[in-house]
Amino acid sequence: MSATDVYSAESGPNPQEALVKFTMLLGGVVFLLMMVFGLIMRVAQGDLISLDPEMFYLLLTAHGAGMVGSAALSGAAILWFFSARHLNLRSSIYIAFLGLFLAGVVLILGSIFIGGYGGAWTFLFPLPAMSGGLWEAWAGVMFCVGYLLIGVGFLLYYLELGLKIASRYNGLLGGLGWRYLFANNSTDVPPPTIVAASSVLVFNTIGIVFGAAVLAASIVNLLLPSFEVDPLLAKNAIYFFGHVFINATIYMAVTAVYEILPDYTGRPWKSTKLFIGAWAAVVIFVQAVYFHHLLQDVNMPAWTMAVGQVVSYASGVPLIGVTVFSLAVYIKGSGLKWDLPISLLTLGVVGWGLGSIPAMVDGMVSVNKLMHNTQWVPGHFHTYLLLGEVAMAFGFAAWLVRDKAVTTLSSLDRLVFRAYVFGGAGFVLVFLWSGASSIPRRWAVHYEQWQLQSQLASGFALIVVLATLVLVVRYVAGLARRSQ
Partner 1 sequence: MIRIVMAGTAFSVACSLQPLVGQDPVIHVLAQFPALILAGSLLGGRFRLPQHLTGPTLVLALVSLAIWMLPRSLDAALLDPVWMVAKFVTLPLCVGLPLAAAWSHVGSVLRGFLKAQAISMLLFLGFLYTHAPMRLCNSYLVDDQQRLGLGFVYLACALILWWIIPVFFGQISSNKKDDDNDVSRHRIELR
Q: Which residues bind partner 1 (CB under 8 A)?
A: 1, 3, 5-6, 8-9, 85-88, 90, 93, 155-156, 159-160, 162-164, 166-174, 188-189, 191, 209, 212-213, 216-217, 220, 226-229, 259, 262, 268-271
Q: Is 39 in the site for ligand HEM (CB under 6 A)?
A: yes
DSSP 8-state code for residue 338? P
Q: Is 470 in the site for ligand HEM (CB under 6 A)?
A: no
Shortest separation between residue 465's beta carbon and ligand HEM, angstroms: 5
Shortest separation between residue 303's beta carbon and partner 1, angstroms: 23
Assess contact for 324 and 350: CB atoms under 8 A.
yes
Q: Which one, of 150, 164, 299, lies nearest residue 232 by Cα?
A: 299
Q: In sequence order, what are the residues at sequence separation of 6 or more whose Cβ sits closer than 8 angstroms to the Cβ of residue 338?
A: 408, 409
The entry of ligand HEM, partner 1, none near residue 51 (CB within 5 to 8 angstroms by kind) is none
Shortest separation between residue 106's beta carbon and partner 1, angstroms: 22
Q: In sequence order, what are the residues at sequence separation of 6 or more whose Cβ sits closer than 8 angstroms to the Cβ of residue 174?
A: 165, 166, 188, 190
Choose between 28 and 316: whose C-beta lies nearer to ligand HEM: 28
Assess contact for 27 and 70: CB atoms under 8 A.
yes
Q: Is 60 in the site for ligand HEM (CB under 6 A)?
A: yes
Crossing angle of helices 231-253/390-400, nearest 10°?
A: 40
List the Cα angle 299/302/306 in 5-degree steps: 135
Choose between 89 and 391: whose C-beta lies nearer to ligand HEM: 391
Assess contact for 69 and 122: CB atoms under 8 A.
no
| Helical (H) or strand (E) element with 470 | helix 451-483
Q: In sequence order, what are the residues at sequence separation of 6 or more whose Cβ sits closer than 8 angstroms to the Cβ of residue 106?
A: 146
Find the DSSP H helices in 124-253: 137-168, 172-176, 178-183, 192-223, 231-253
> For residue 8, which amino acid is it?
S
**Is 440 in a helix, a strand, or coil?**
strand
Choose between 213 and 412: whose C-beta lies nearer to partner 1: 213
Report in angstroms the alpha-carbon separations of 176 from 8, 191, 296, 473: 20, 10, 35, 38
Shortest separation between residue 42's beta carbon and partner 1, angstroms: 39
- Residues between 90 and 149 with contacts to ligand HEM, criterion CB under 6 A: 120-122
The entry of ligand HEM, partner 1, none near residue 91 (CB within 5 to 8 angstroms by kind) is none
Shortest separation between residue 251's beta carbon and ligand HEM, angstroms: 14
Choose between 62 and 212: whose C-beta lies nearer to ligand HEM: 62
Shortest separation between residue 397's beta carbon and partner 1, angstroms: 21
The entry of ligand HEM, partner 1, none near residue 60 (CB within 5 to 8 angstroms by kind) is ligand HEM
Assess contact for 431 and 457: CB atoms under 8 A.
yes
Q: In sequence order, what are the residues at sequence separation of 6 or more whose Cβ sits closer than 8 angstroms to the Cβ of residue 83?
A: 89, 161, 164, 193, 194, 197, 255
Q: Is 42 in the site for ligand HEM (CB under 6 A)?
A: yes
Specify which residues 440 forms β-bridges with: 374
Q: Is 26 in the site for ligand HEM (CB under 6 A)?
A: no
Shortest separation between residue 4's beta carbon and partner 1, angstroms: 9
Q: Is 464 in the site for ligand HEM (CB under 6 A)?
A: yes
Q: Is 252 in the site for ligand HEM (CB under 6 A)?
A: no
The entry of ligand HEM, partner 1, none near residue 461 (CB within 5 to 8 angstroms by kind) is ligand HEM
Q: How many residues bind ligand HEM (CB under 6 A)?
A: 25
Shortest separation between residue 446's beta carbon and ligand HEM, angstroms: 8
Q: Is 461 in the site for ligand HEM (CB under 6 A)?
A: yes
Shortest separation between residue 335's beta carbon and ligand HEM, angstroms: 33
Q: Site residues (CB under 6 A) for ligand HEM?
A: 35, 38-39, 41-42, 60, 63-64, 67-68, 71, 120-122, 375, 378, 382, 385-386, 390, 441-442, 461, 464-465
